[in-house]
Structure 1
Amino acid sequence: MVFILRVSHGKVFSTDAEKLKTPKRGDPVSVSTLHHDYEKSRFELYENGVMAGFLQYDTGRDTLFLKHTFIIPAHRGHGLAFALIERVLDDMHRRRLSIQPECPIVAEFLRTHQQYLGLVVTGRAATGRHLPAHEHRTA
């Protein structure tokens, strides 16, 4: 799954028509893509073909446990962490999956973007965690 984001003067805009802004002439523009790496259990954000960060998760039955958001230092300060989280949550909504935010940055995002709170599962419904594929052990 790939989403295109455009960054202009440090502001991130998605490809959604209502959010996409046309940059002014001379504005620096970079293209960001979101890649779901199933083997590493993470969503990776690439900016102009270079990894800018990722959101690590564990899986449950119908729930993703969002563990850790990381933006590479050279890419920080441009709103990419929130842009990454927003794209992941939009994908979870489309796929009708729930989330359990364990990452403080995801929790902060949810406090300011309450339209995503319907994705959050708590208590018993959040049980049933599975180990990521790379952590499965054989006897």
Structure 2
Amino acid sequence: MAHRIEHKPAENRFEIHVDDALAGYADYTVIGGVRDFDHTVTDPAFRGQGLAGKLVAAALDASRADGISIATSCSYVEKFVEQNPEYKDLLAA
């Protein structure tokens, strides 16, 4: 299965697609220049394939490339950052 990740800034969302199906998304809110990831969802049909981790990693990499700090209101993103300390520098003070 081929997957692609898209950033949809007008919707404040990163999406992961498997073939042509939307498999999951990570929503965020921008507050004071901080991208607060507040909701991550994986469609039940695509769970257990590591797609959420790929999606969040891509979203955090894009945030770094954009020079934007993050907040982790979403428990999945919070746990991901804890388990992947290379992203801790993105956390807003």
- TM-score normalized by structure 1? 0.64
Instruction: Say which of 38, 46, 49 aligns to 1:75.
Output: 46
Give the CA deviation at 1:40: 2.0
Structure with greater helix percent: 2
Task: Name the residue aligned to 2:82.
Answer: 111
- Which structure: larger Rg? 1
Q: 1:85 aligned to 2:51?
A: no
Q: 1:62 aligned to 2:42?
A: no
Task: Name the residue aligned to 1:36.
Answer: 7
Separation (CA, whole Å) in 1 of partners of 2:76 and 2:60: 13
Q: Secondary structure at the match of 1:85?
A: helix
Task: Name the residue aligned to 1:100.
Answer: 71
Gaps of 5+ in 1: 1-29, 123-139
Gaps of 5+ in 2: none
Moved over 6 A (4+): none
- TM-score normalized by structure 2? 0.94
Give the CA deviation at 1:61: 3.3
Percent of paired sites with the same residue:
28
Q: Secondary structure at the match of 1:39?
A: helix
Separation (CA, whole Å) in 1 of partners of 2:32 and 2:79: 25
Give the CA deviation at 1:109: 0.4
Would you say how many aligned residue pairs link Structure 1 and Structure 2?
93
Q: CA RMSD in A?
A: 1.0
Separation (CA, whole Å) in 2 of partners of 1:78 and 1:45: 12
Instruction: Say which of 18, 29, 48 aligns to 1:47.
Output: 18
Structure with greater strand percent: 2
Q: Secondary structure at the match of 1:77?
A: coil
Give the CA deviation at 1:60: 2.1
More displaced, 34-43 or 94-103? Answer: 34-43
